[in-house]
A and B are shown apart, each in its own frame.
Chain A
Amino acid sequence: MMANFQDYVFYAFAAILLGAGLRVITARNPVHAALYLVLAFFTAAGIWLLLEAEFLAIALVLVYVGAVMVLFLFVVMMLDINLDKLREGFWEALPVALPVAVLMALEMALVLGSRHFGPERVATPKPHPADYSNTAELGRQLYTDYVYPFELAAVILLVAIVAAIALTLRRRKDTKYIDPAQQVKVKRSDRLKIVHMPAEKPTPPTAEGDRT
């Protein structure tokens, strides 16, 4: 089969994705690692575009690159990560980890190769017509057939919020926190107290007072 333009694009994206993914875990500087992750997301979005999943591709860029990774970069820059401490024990663990990793990679290569998932085994899906709306189809699926897992995902997010607040919220006793509601409700009488007191006559200066 002649390779067409789409195939070249796919291989280019795949190569960049793998390279970026590898650099995420090997980069010494955590900020670089986060930036490589951004690159990985971008190329993954490109591959999704090739699969005609336009909405997901754009959502990946907007949500992950635009929101999540920016937040992540802030966190990485604010934390003082000691990389040497993180890398401690790398060489001791390597003799055990490396054979396991190689073995797993070999097994996966055996099973996931083109012999089991090649084009002659899995039929190529038909391309959709130009007026096909990926977004509308996704929305229809999400709110009809997949409404149950969709709601469950919402519950999981709610649990994440509850758990994060329960685990991190601390009311500090020493803050000078002001309740805006109290501040707005304040009346003149709370702040200003007019005290009536009889006027006092100035005492005439004495001779001793003058001298000092």
Chain B
Amino acid sequence: MHPIVNDIYTALPEIFVLGMAMAILLIDLFLTERTRFLTYALSQFTLLGAAMITVATHTPGVGYAFSGMFVDDPLADVLKLMSYLATSVVLVYSRSYLAERGMFRGEFFVLTLFALLGMMVMISGRNLLTLYMGLELLSLCLYSLVALDRDNPRATEAAMKYFVLGALASGMLLYGMSMLYGITGNLDINQIGSALVKGAPDRAVLILGLVFVVAGLAFKLGAVPFQMWVPDVYHGAPTAMTLLVGSAPKFAAFALVMRLLVQALQGVVHDWQGMLILMAVLSIALGNIIAIAQTNLKRMLAYSTISHIGFLLFGIMSGTLNGFIASMFYVSVYVLMTLGGFGMILLLSRRGFEAENLDDFKGLAARHPWYAFLMLLLMFSMAGVPPTIGFYAKFAVLQAALQVGLVKLVVFAVLMAVVGAFYYLRVVKLMYFDEPQHDAPVRAQPDMTMVLTVNGLAVLLLGLMPQRLMELCAYAILHSIQ
């Protein structure tokens, strides 16, 4: 095959998403408020098409394109498919919320698709340059989406904080990357990896670069001590944007960690292991303890995210293939639960009212027993109560940490998970044992109710048979990471 044909064939999903995003940008100009549904339908079609292309061009081997800057391995394909699914669910959940608040505009869909493109570039990046470009593409879209409700001072403030801290994190990441480039003379992930395995050319510079890279990654992931933007952004952003920020980009962040720490910096695994252990322990402790004091559900879920990121790092820091599989399993489960949790807030919100306080969930079981049951499943799963999927996710990462002998840390994480169970179960208590404060009916589109039901039940059903998802993660990791 001619190199250009190979390049286009390998990157076909990205090219399709880019083309559709630009087409939607143009088509949307000719639509009115009443025909805007077409933009939504085209966006969903884009996601479906990209998924079909990704499946059709999938091979268990590793393919390269664009002079080795782009990699198409099973890890990339699986993470991309998960990102399409998460983005599609985000669009379904946020449709009526956006329409009620005057944000059902073409820009939302275009920026969301560009954000997805950024995630895909990150997932398939095999060069420090492309990884960084993908990260910037994703981040810029997310900053502007958070600020899209521009007359809302809280959203604008959140966007500003997100932007400034995000730019700082990008700067740190770039600085670290420049150190790596300085000592290896290469931007290519695999070549940096092999240069470091052969023997570190200069340890002092390498470690300085590593520290900056890990700090930049921790910022993007939202791990302690770089977590301060997470609660403010999750709380301040319109809930539909919080849903987007909190869900699909986590797949891209996971891919970024895998590419940078595991594929490029495998040679210094013992150095980053120590840093990750510290961040994981602090994240789990701080996230779970501060979440108890929250009365706002969005803020509570933000702190819960910090603790989940801590668990995610537990798998990665073990440095074994088992650990990476467990981490990938964890991140997919986390996104599933986050989609459900914020989807529930979107479901109960209506024009002029945000169901974001814990009190808004009081007595939900009396008003809408089915929704309360779904929320109960989601909360049980986040807390890690068997037989929900959240239990298996925690179990898998802690088992991976046990295999490398981190017994004390595992005991600590389990204790913190018990602390965390308090605030998840408090939501259940509010729904089932408290009196409702108002009896406004919940009006939801049938598609949203259906997807939310599937989402809630998936948490239970996958928990009963986690084998398939685990096999998928194992397939992706084992065929991509040597």
B254 near A: Cβ within 8 Å? no
Within 8 A of A (CB), among B124-152: 127, 129-130, 133-134, 136-137, 140-141, 143-144, 147-148, 150
Q: Within the complex, which residue of B105, B107, B182 is in contact with A117, where a contact is CB–CB below 8 Å?
A: B182
From known contacts A152-B130, A159-B137, infer whether A167 and B202 are also in contact, taking CB-CB under 8 Å.
Answer: no
Q: Min CB distance, A114 to chain B, in Å?
A: 12
Contact B141 A163 (CB under 8 A): yes
Contact A159 B69 (CB under 8 A): no
Query: How many chain A residues touch B (Cβ–Cβ < 8 Å)?
Result: 26
CB neighbours (8 Å) of A152 from chain B are 121, 130, 133-134, 137
From known contacts A145-B67, A148-B66, A149-B130, infer whether A166 and B107 are also in contact, taking CB-CB under 8 Å.
Answer: yes
Contact A166 B204 (CB under 8 A): no
Contact A167 B69 (CB under 8 A): no
Bound-state Cα–Cα, A144 to B4, Å: 10
A136 near B: Cβ within 8 Å? no
CB neighbours (8 Å) of A145 from chain B are 67
B208 near A: Cβ within 8 Å? yes
B416 near A: Cβ within 8 Å? no
Q: Mark B13-49, 1 if CB is under 8 A from A, else 0.
A: 0000010001001000000000000000000000000
Bound-state Cα–Cα, A115 to B150, Å: 51
Contact B133 A166 (CB under 8 A): no
**Chain B at the A interface: mostly helix, strand, loop or mixed?**
helix
Interface size of B as a range:
35 or more
Contact B148 A167 (CB under 8 A): yes
From known contacts A117-B182, A144-B67, A152-B130, infer whether A162 and B205 are also in contact, taking CB-CB under 8 Å.
Answer: no
Bound-state Cα–Cα, A162 to B136, Å: 15
A153 near B: Cβ within 8 Å? yes
Residue in B closest to A170 when the chains form the complex, CB atoms: B150
B84 near A: Cβ within 8 Å? no
Contact A166 B205 (CB under 8 A): no
Q: Within the complex, which residue of A111, A146, A147, A155 is in contact with B114, where a contact is CB–CB below 8 Å?
A: A155
Q: Which of A112, A116, A158 has the most chain B CB atoms closer than 10 A to its own CB?
A: A116
Contact B111 A155 (CB under 8 A): no
Bound-state Cα–Cα, A107 to B205, Å: 10
CB neighbours (8 Å) of B141 from chain A are 159, 163
Q: Min CB distance, A210 to chain B, in Å?
A: 65
CB neighbours (8 Å) of A25 from chain B are none
Residue in A closest to B159 when the chains form the complex, CB atoms: A167
CB neighbours (8 Å) of A147 from chain B are 66
Bound-state Cα–Cα, A100 to B182, Å: 25
A160 near B: Cβ within 8 Å? yes
Q: Min CB distance, A98 to chain B, in Å?
A: 19
From known contacts A156-B137, A163-B141, A166-B148, infer whether A148 and B69 are also in contact, taking CB-CB under 8 Å.
Answer: yes
Contact A149 B140 (CB under 8 A): no
A71 near B: Cβ within 8 Å? no
B117 near A: Cβ within 8 Å? yes
CB neighbours (8 Å) of A163 from chain B are 107, 111, 140-141, 143-144
Bound-state Cα–Cα, A160 to B11, Å: 23
From known contacts A110-B204, A162-B110, infer whether A149 and B25 are also in contact, taking CB-CB under 8 Å.
Answer: no
Q: Min CB distance, A160 to chain B, in Å?
A: 7
Bound-state Cα–Cα, A30 to B129, Å: 33
Bound-state Cα–Cα, A160 to B67, Å: 27
CB neighbours (8 Å) of A167 from chain B are 144, 147-148, 150
Binding site for A on B (CB under 8 A): 7, 11, 18, 22, 25, 65-67, 69-70, 105, 107, 110-111, 114, 117, 121, 127, 129-130, 133-134, 136-137, 140-141, 143-144, 147-148, 150, 182, 202, 204-205, 208
Extra pairs beyond A158-B114, A159-B111 (17, CB < 8 Å): A110-B204, A111-B204, A111-B208, A148-B130, A149-B129, A149-B130, A152-B133, A153-B133, A155-B114, A156-B137, A159-B114, A160-B140, A162-B110, A162-B111, A162-B144, A163-B111, A165-B107
